[in-house]
Structure 1
Amino acid sequence: MPVERLLATRAQRAFILTITIQAIVVLTMVAITFRKVEVKVNFHAPQYKTLPCYLALFALAEVFELLMALDALRLRNIIQLIGILLFHMALIVFAAIQIHQTESALLGGNDCTNHFNLINCPGPGSLWSSVKPFLIVVPVVIAAAWFLMMFWIKELYSEFGWAIFHVVGANPKMKIMYQWYQIMLCLIKFDFFFFVGVTMQLLIVVLARNSAEFGVTIAAIPVVLVLLALCATAVQREIKWLMTVSLVMMLAASSYLYKLVRIYEPASRDMYVTTRASLTIFTIVAFILLFATFAVGLRCFADFDRGLQASKVNGGSYTPVVTKMELFGGNMSQTQGGAYTGGSALQPRISIE
């Protein structure tokens, strides 16, 4: 069975098309909501900043998901595709939460019994009633796309089952080590998104630009991005000292969880009132992912110098191969391109999962 080129199969094209159409529809709905609110309210008011944050986060999420999907197809990485499914499920939850947060931002607990206005009160013709349908469409569209993505990933799982054999050969231990390596890279990529998501919400919604916390948050962005990039390099090239530094820095970065205290402590809780739910979820997920990355990083560190480095370096390069199977003779032979330098020669009667 040959390994096809990127986007050469129906399942690959349909998977990318599903994500692209979903992203266009979702961003259109979010942009319409943003525009309807923008002409009515002043976004400099703290209670309304959740809407620019909502737009920015979904723009980042949709672009990130599309790039992750293309990267997963390029690498033939089924683990990353499963990660995208989980990420997409998180987008459904986030979109549902945004309906409540937008309602809180627009209505804000105003007393409309004696005084009614179309901006801060519910009812026919109000600002909330005009944007609510667009907000509801977003999680519905994302959920529909999720079911389609599951169908295409099922086909891609069968399609990519052959690819990992070309990278690490038939050794089951090598296959397990390579899968842990794929999990590590996938976690690093999702660490990037959730860290940027938390930081973006803090910068847009909460922090004053003249505060010390604003400066510290800005300074943390390049530090964390460099950390993630160095960690990915260390685990791929099996650089032990760099991997050690990366793991120690991950433990230090876990102190970012203190943001949860700031969200709920009486002295600062009012600053987070319109984004408390989303910030809490993003912060907790970011911490869990960082801890998981640390744990998987230790597992990958233990696999250094065990013969996997060549497969890590060359495993992302795929070109179609010519394969010949002698079904009735019980033998299998292959002509293998230079791209699969990490693989091993096939032996008679090998069973491939």
Structure 2
Amino acid sequence: MVAITFRLVDDKVSLSQEGYRTIPCYLALFALAEIFELLMAFDALRLRNVIQLIGILLFHLACMVFAAVQVHQTRTALITGTDCDTNADLIKCDVPGSLWRRIEPYLIVAPCVIAGSWLFMLFWIRQLYAEFGWAIFHIVGANPKMKTMYQYYQIMICLLKFDFFFFTAVTMQLLIVVLAQNSTEFGVTISAIPVVLVLLGLCAIAVQREIKWLMSISLVLMLAAETYFIYKLVRFYEPSSRGQYQTTRATLTIFTIVAFLILFATFAVGLRCFADFDRGLQSSKVHGGSYQLVAIKPGQLNGNAILFLDVSQRPKYSTGGSTGNMSEHQSPYNSGNALGPRISIE
């Protein structure tokens, strides 16, 4: 729907004009959002991360809101004509047969489709929630404190991923729609991109490896990034600059506020994760996803099923003896070959 809208407008007007740049920006943001959401879904399934699946639900809901807001934003960009009653301009006026009347149905359909797909996602993620319920137990065991610490770690990593998207989205809108290449603000925005992306990457490494000095620097830089978002919000409504943001002010405001809130939440959760450093969770963070389930089917062992959970970093069968602290399991069903360290749950 967004691509059709883009094509219909591109056929009638030049999208390089200042007032019409919101259309390519709209298409670029949705393309980025769909790719990002798809990668996040694969990542959540790979890691069996229920928290990230819930984050995807909220993100999809935000896409629906953005699509709904874009109807108003596009109308503001296109309907700029005067005296439409006496001199109907099919490009700049809201009259039968005009450009706006042609693209309006496609703009309205987009949030409706997203809302319908959100209901389907809600059903399937509910099923996955039950399916992945044991994942954290497999990684950190039954200790409630360790489980809570690992959940905060998962929330932190998930927030960093969404920080990346919303910062990229705000920057993309500014560069496509608003800023002139010869302006000082354009240079500041360009220079902020690598700084923030490096910040997010280093913060993820710091919280996973529990590097205190790097985590401290990341938290301080988060506060600096917060001031950048506040500065941009002021620029959107400041009398001297509000005119250049007219066609995208609502979208930019929503994205900037959401980015500010998510970054603030990342800072708060980061402080919580920093307090959990050196409490025995680092190994689970680094190797948490590396486990494998090997089941012997009922009937092979007198009707009982045994589930082996491989807790080694690279799970595989061992051809030699056990070198770990756990007992070695010898089974007549593996042709005499000893298995490596296993936890058996019968």
Q: What TM-score bracket applies, with the shorter chain setting the length?
A: 0.7 to 0.9
**TM-fit CA distance, 1:317:** 2.9
Q: Which runs of 5+ in 2 are unaligned?
A: 299-303, 315-325, 327-341
- Pair 1:236 & 2:236 matched: no
Deviations 1:125-154 (A, max 9, x none): 110111011111100010000000000001
- Pair 1:67 & 2:32 matched: no
What TM-score, normalized by structure 1, do the two folds share?
A: 0.85
- Partner SS, residue 15 of structure 2: coil
Find the aligned partners of 2:186 and 2:162 in 1 and give their Cα distance: 24
Which of 1 and 2 has higher RCO (CA within 8 Å, sep 6+)?
A: 1
- Partner SS, residue 130 of structure 1: helix
Q: 1:323 to 1:251 in 2, by over 3 A?
A: farther
Find the aligned partners of 1:283 and 1:321 in 2 and give their Cα distance: 47
**TM-fit CA distance, 1:347:** 9.9
- Partner SS, residue 95 of structure 2: coil
Does the CA-based 8 Å contact 1:166-1:340 persist in structure 2? no
- Pair 1:154 & 2:126 matched: yes
**TM-fit CA distance, 1:321:** 3.4
Runs of 4+ displaced beyond 3 Å: 318-321, 331-334, 338-341, 344-349
- Pair 1:221 & 2:202 matched: no
Deviations 1:73-98 (A, max 9, x none): 00100000000100111001000000
**Which amino acid counterpart does residue 273 of structure 2 have in structure 1?**
C
Find the aligned partners of 1:74 and 1:111 in 2 and give their Cα distance: 58
Deviations 1:8-56 (A, max 9, x none): xxxxxxxxxxxxxxxxxxxxx1111001001111212211110010000
Aligned to 2:259: 286
The match for 2:148 among 142, 159, 176 is 176
Aligned to 1:45: 17
**TM-fit CA distance, 1:108:** 2.5
- Pair 1:298 & 2:282 matched: no
Find the aligned partners of 1:163 and 1:184 in 2 and give their Cα distance: 17
Aligned to 2:63: 91
**Which amino acid counterpart does residue 50 of structure 2 have in structure 1?**
I
Find the aligned partners of 2:311 and 2:142 in 1 and give their Cα distance: 18
Does the CA-based 8 Å contact 1:51-1:102 persist in structure 2? yes
**TM-fit CA distance, 1:338:** 3.9
Find the aligned partners of 1:339 and 1:66 in 2 and give their Cα distance: 30
| Correspondence list, 1:246-257, <5 A | 246-256=218-228, 257=230
Deviations 1:299-344 (A, max 9, x none): 000000101001100113343333899xxxxx99742224579xx9
The match for 1:134 among 96, 106, 109 is 106
Aligned to 1:310: 283
Aligned to 2:330: none
The match for 2:171 among 189, 194, 199 is 199
- Pair 1:125 & 2:108 matched: no
Find the aligned partners of 1:267 and 1:78 in 2 and give their Cα distance: 46
Find the aligned partners of 1:193 and 1:131 in 2 and give their Cα distance: 27
**TM-fit CA distance, 1:109:** 5.7
- Partner SS, residue 45 of structure 2: helix
Find the aligned partners of 2:147 and 2:92 in 1 and give their Cα distance: 58
Q: 1:295 to 1:109 in 2, by over 3 A?
A: farther
Find the aligned partners of 2:345 and 2:311 in 1 and give their Cα distance: 22
Aligned-residue sequence identity (percent) comes to: 69
**Which amino acid counterpart does residue 280 of structure 1 have in structure 2?**
T
Does the CA-based 8 Å contact 1:184-1:293 persist in structure 2? yes
Q: Which runs of 5+ in 1 are unaligned?
A: 1-28, 326-330
Does the CA-based 8 Å contact 1:69-1:84 persist in structure 2? yes
Aligned to 1:82: 54
What is the count of residue pairs matched by the alignment? Answer: 315
**Which amino acid counterpart does residue 113 of structure 1 have in structure 2?**
D
Does the CA-based 8 Å contact 1:108-1:120 persist in structure 2? yes
- Partner SS, residue 68 of structure 2: helix
**TM-fit CA distance, 1:110:** 3.2
Pick the structure with greater CA Rg: 2
**Range with bigger deviation, 298-307 or 43-52:** 43-52
RMSD of the TM alignment (CA)? 2.2
- Partner SS, residue 275 of structure 1: helix
What TM-score, normalized by structure 2, do the two folds share?
A: 0.87
Aligned to 2:246: 273
Aligned to 1:33: 5
